[in-house]
Every structure is written in structure tokens, then in C-alpha cells.
Amino acid sequence: MSSEEEICIDQAIAKKSLYGASEEPAYSGVLSFMRRKYTKDLTGADVAVSGVPLDLMVSHRPGTRFGPEAVRKASAILETIHPYSWDFDPYERLAVIDYGDCYFNYGLPETITDAIYEHAKKIINAGVFMLTLGGDHFVSYPLIKAHAEKYGPLSLIHFDAHSDTWGEEDDNINHHGTMFRRAYLEGLINPKKSVQVGIRTKNEETYGFNILHAPWVFKNGPEATVAEIKRIVGDNKAYLTFDIDCLDPAYAPGTGTPVVGGLTSYLALEIIRGLTGIDYAGMDIVEVNPAYDVGEITSLAAATIAADLLCVLAHDKGPLV
């Protein structure tokens, strides 16, 4: 808690500074991600956390439109706990806001891709870093398109059970399992400098992406995984996307297309916490489906990973003042 902030309620709207952690009872108050100021004003912000409540592109269970809301709710309990394993308060280093959700018209599905893209452009053009809460994984396509337009072809750091590069030669099918093929075909991603982590479903066509399958990650451990990710990405601009189904269903039951044999939440956090020193363009965490969750296991895992990603950014940025 920063010195000028009082313990109070509804910090999402009452908080005066964009900096500093704050405290209020986890069970009450207006929700925002980590009790950050909930605002559409990007002035002075370093990072905008926003939600994209989409579930119209799923191949199996719908429900990720409730993902951002669930992650915000789960994050409330983290806000009173200083981030573990870091020796600083990330919110003293970074001005992080909750920008709220992206609006799109579910009745006009053909307009949704552009709506998400415009949402991203508005934030990026203001010079603010995006950490996005999905939503099904398709949201990453318009987000990456917006980021690649600014930074050029990106390295994708992709945590998932699935490759999400499905599709046939001439098809133009869009769903939450095809968008990285499309992003590759459109030159938004450089697959040779990209890495997929935790994969455990078969797709013979890799399009040149580097893949660290789930058994490899278990066998070699977090340090080797981090080293391999950093070796592949190098100093290229990177977009990190974390599909919560990278975790085993035991650790993330609340998701649309679960696959057994996945990462533990401990292993995922150990890897995430090692991914400092990378030149990030943007980040998202997707596919939280609270209708299938149990005791907020999944939304808490997603909120913790998102909070640790902010620590990774804060670690690299250092104090602003």
C-alpha cells in the first residue's frame, strides 16, 4: 500500500493515483483487475489490462465471454498479497489501469475481428502496453495484427495444449484453433523465432514453429524451458499468449477444450517468472470458462499468471521515479 492511499473500499473507482498497491476486503467492492483504477483514460498509464469477452469462435464448450469477469474477481484476493518471489511492488514501478472491456456486437459476428483490432489500436497508439484477458483464443488474432502493424513480424511465445494452426490450404475458416496459421500466412508472426509450450495434441503441420511439447517441459524442467524460449526468441519483439488449457485440467478445469497431461500451475509460474529480459510487444491470457470451473481454480490460476506477467514487465522496466 502506498503511503498516500488509505485502506478503503471500491478502489477501482476511488483510487487517486495510478501507482501503488492498495488494500480492501477481497470479498467486496467494485471489481477491477488487481483493484487497479477502472478507467477509459489512458493518460499516464504504462499498462492497460482489458477484457475481450468473446466466445463465438469456440469449437466445443462456450462460456469464455465470462472469463474477464471471473479473472477480475479472482484477482481481488491476490491484491492484498505481495507478489511472491519478487522483491518489489510492480505497481510502484508501473502505472497499471483496468481499461474495462472491448465492445463488439454479438449480433454482427463479421464485425468482431475489426472491433477487437480497433480496441487494440486505440490503446497501442496511445503508447500503452496491453495485457488482455480473453475471451476465447481467437481474440489473439486481431490483437497480434494490431501489434504486428506497429512492431513488424513478432515472435509468438505461445502456451497451450493445442497448436491453433489448424486449417487447409485454401480455406478461410476462423475459429479459436486456426488464428496462428492465419497470422503466420499474413506475415504477422515469424515462426522460426516463435515457440509453442505445453503442446500435447497432434498436428503434423508445424509451419516451422518451434515446439516444446508438454512431456519435454516436464522432463527438462522450468530452467531449461526458460533458456530454450529465450534462445529461440532472442532479441526479437515478442507477443506472449497464454491459453489456460496449457495447464492440466486438474489445475484448470474451467476451460473449453481441456487436454490431460498438462503443466501444473507451479511449473507454469516457474517458467513465467523466468521470462524476464524479453522485448515484449503485448500479452494475453485466454480461454477461462468459469461455467466449467470449480472453486475458482482456473480463474485464480489465470489471475496469478496475469499478475506475474505484470511483475515480469515491472522487473525489466525498473523504477520510473
Q: Which residues bind Mn ion (CB under 5 A)?
A: 160-162, 243, 245
CB of 75 to Mn ion, least distance (A): 22
On whether the CB atoms of residues 141 and 182 are closer than 8 A, the answer is: yes
Question: Of the two residues 97 and 240, which places its CB atom closer to Mn ion in the complex?
Answer: 240
Question: Of the two residues 151 and 216, which places its CB atom closer to Mn ion in the complex?
Answer: 216
The residue type of 258 is P
Question: Of the two residues 163 and 190, which places its CB atom closer to Mn ion in the complex?
Answer: 163
Among 263, 163, 277, CA closest to 231:
277
Gyration radius (Cα) of the chain, Å: 18
Return the SS3 of 188: coil
Fill in the DSSP letter of residue 11. H
On whether the CB atoms of residues 45 and 26 are closer than 8 A, the answer is: no
Torsion 170-171-174-178 (CA) sign:
negative
Question: Of the two residues 46 and 160, which places its CB atom closer to Mn ion in the complex?
Answer: 160
CB of 248 to Mn ion, least distance (A): 13
CB of 78 to Mn ion, least distance (A): 24
Side by side, which strands form the sheet with 37-38?
37-38, 96-101, 47-52, 129-134, 280-286, 238-243, 155-159, 195-199, 210-213
What's the rounded Cα separation, in Å, for the pair 49 and 230?
25
Question: Of the two residues 93 and 181, which places its CB atom closer to Mn ion in the complex?
Answer: 181
CB of 169 to Mn ion, least distance (A): 23
CB of 257 to Mn ion, least distance (A): 6
